Amino acid sequence: MKFGKELVSQMVPEWQEAYMDYEFLKTLLKEVQRFKQRSTTTRPPQGPQHISRRMSLYRAFSGLTRRTNSPTASATSPDIESQEEGTSGNGHSDESNDDKDDKEREEIHQKVKQEKQNKMKASRPSPLEILNHVQINYIAETPRSTIKEFLSVHNEKEIKFTRENLMKVQERLKLAFIEFYNKLRLLKSYSFMNILAFSKIMKKYDKITSRNASKPYLKMVDNSYLGSSDEVTKLMDRVEAAFIKHFANSNRRKGMTDLRPKVKIERHRVTFSLGFLFGCTMALILAVVLITRTRNLLDHEGRIQYMDNLFPLYSLFGFIVLHMLMYAGNIYFWRQYRVNFTFIFGFKEGTELGYREVLLLSFGVAVLAVGSVLANLDMEMDPITKDYKALTELVPLGLVVLFVLILLCPFNIIYRSSRYFLLVCVFHCICAPLYKVTLPDFFLADQLTSQVQAFRSLEFYICYYGWGDYKRRQNTCRTSDVYNTFTFIVAAIPYWSRLLQCLRRLIEERDFMQGLNGLKYLSTIVAITTRTAYTLNTGNVWKIAAWIASVIAMLFGTYWDIVMDWGLFQKNSKNRWLRDKLLIPHKSVYFVAMVLNVLLRLAWMQTVLNLQVSFLHRQALIAVVAVLEIIRRGIWNFFRLENEHLNNVGKYRAFKSVPLPFNYNEDASKDE
């Protein structure tokens, strides 16, 4: 692998701008090489432009010109300049004076350091007195603590040395050590890769220009803070020693295993199982199509009854599978364009699912769902009892129960850590605004807003098997006032949860934009409510209200998606109508995504327009609209996280913030 590609692969994604611009320097070297080739074949002109051009190229590669592209390069350039200035004229006297000044400064630094150490020893309290200055850090991250904080009920700050508290403290300290050690590892890698890049580029420079400039230049780089500082190495040694002693029972192998990052191992059995389940899914779909055609079920008299009762049950699995497929595609492209989604979502290291694992789960669900459809594809009613087989009619319900049991299974099977992470996020969404809002929580809540029809399918499950006569494939759900009332409530639940999250962030962060975001979800709740009312009570009043609310929600949501969530449509950007920083090299992709977002949002208007397609049943048309919304959400996911990733790059963030269990304040008693 060429070093340029290796440098890119080893970069911390959030620190890309802080690395030496290796590719830019390579282009300058190629320009120098072309200039030399032209000068050897033809006699160069001797005009002032030629002289200035030669001088500019000379300065660019002699260290005299500072460039602002790379903070690392600019940090070392002053040393290079001082070296070159010191070697001309009275260079020896300047160096001797600098040495004397350095010795005087070193002596003063040592004296100040010694005085500080003496003061610390004199003011250091005894071990028992230290506990008087230590307090436990309480974080408002549970419903109980949130309510207490809202009611101004202060928690006790003294330390309780119970076994449970000590275990929690130990886990939090262990996690803090691991995160800090990973930060130091990345800093050390950052220093090494930049020094190696300087070495590579200077060797190329010497080869092209037939000069011997790399040795003095690299000497200056090694003497700079980037190359000479050993603070990171010392800190790593101290962290290793402390962690092994206190968290690994002095077992170095165990301690280093916990400290080092967990590398996710790609397993061949996942790929094999994925291919097998994909083949099974295709075979089952083909079987359903063939049976439908051979039995001429599309023209069967029981077709309407099947579509009214069983199709809404099975469409739930279709929505879930499609959303998982879109998420797998998101993961694939996030990795292709180096979006650090594992850090952004806060996944546990080494346990995040790749796109192969998500596809494996998707086709696993698809096999069970399509297999159930095949087993339940029975249009014939018993002529004596006038009902259908109870066992086959219970297949969809049994499948839902199976998936719920797998999701809640406490055993370490089927990606338990990922299932637990999902359940925690779902619980936080349900309990909003009692939990502190994090990105995984509101990102999942946004996904749920695109699964309104799936929630209504779950409502239909309860009605159909609860008080519907499922043995006869009949239901009275849509004539029930209770069912219709819950149709309003169920559709608004995801948006209501998202609205409460925005209000929580508005209060905590004092961010006015969160208030506007909350208004966006409120407008969507109004639009969904009026559209649902229009479908149940057709009339001009509800139709006008649904039209107005839907248009407002569509315009508000489209603007927020493109401008706020994606960061696009910026008039003054260097990339016209996009944003300054882009990951996809083809700019047309962003314009296509914006157009698709608008068109797919227009699918919402189908309910208001009340369009009827002759060859599609009403339930099938509802499912198509729901599918379009899931596809829109999948497209939104990629650009939303791309924008989040680019913002993180600007802030040079690459780590999780780990709250410490204690805080130490020596001045607490003095203030009292």
Most confident of 211-220, 426-435, 642-651: 426-435
Least confident of 45-59, 203-217, 432-446: 45-59
For tokens 């020693």, the residue is: 241
> Taken in order 657, 660, 666, 669, is the CA torsion positive or negative?
positive
- What residue spans define the domains of the chain? 3-86, 89-124, 129-259, 268-651
Structure tokens at 655: 């780590």
CA 360 vs. chain centroid, Å, equals 21
Percent of the chain predicted with pLDDT > 90: 46
pLDDT of 122 higher than 70: no
**pLDDT interval class at 62 (50, 70, 90):** very low
CB 197 within 8 A of CB 19: yes
Q: Can you give the pLDDT at residue 96? A: 55
Structure token pair of residue 122? 């004199």
Q: Which residue reads 């780089």 in tokens?
A: 221
Cα distance between the two ends of the chain: 63
Nearest to 263 by CA among 208, 182, 201, 198: 182
User: Is the predicted pLDDT of residue 91 greater than 50, yes or no?
Assistant: no
Residue 608 scores a pLDDT above 80 = no
Tokens of 286: 């083909």
**474 SS3 class:** coil
Q: How far apart are CA 473 and CA 151, in angstroms?
A: 52
Per-residue confidence (pLDDT) for residue 549, from 0 to 100 = 93
The yes-or-no verdict on residue 366 having pLDDT over 60 is: yes
Question: CA 209 from chain center: how many Å?
Answer: 46
Residue 81 confidence (pLDDT) above 70: no
Reported as a single tens digit per residue, the pLDDT across 458-503 is 999 999 998 878 888 888 888 888 999 999 999 999 999 999 999 9
Confidence at residue 447, expressed as pLDDT on a 0 to 100 scale: 97
Interhelix angle 252-259/231-247, nearest 10 degrees: 120
Collapsing DSSP states into helix, strand and coil, what is residue 45? coil
Q: For the ranges 247-256, 373-382, 434-443, which has the lowest average pLDDT?
A: 373-382
Under 8 Å CB-to-CB from 583, ≥6 apart: which residues? 337, 338, 339, 642, 645, 646
pLDDT score of 555 more than 90: yes
- Phi and psi at residue 664, to the nearest 5°: -120, 125
Beta bridge partners of 135: 663
Element (H, E) at 663: strand 662-664
Q: Which residue has the tokens 């599609």?
A: 616
Least confident of 28-42, 144-158, 268-282, 416-430: 144-158
User: 86-95, 215-224, 460-469: which range is least confident on average?
Assistant: 86-95
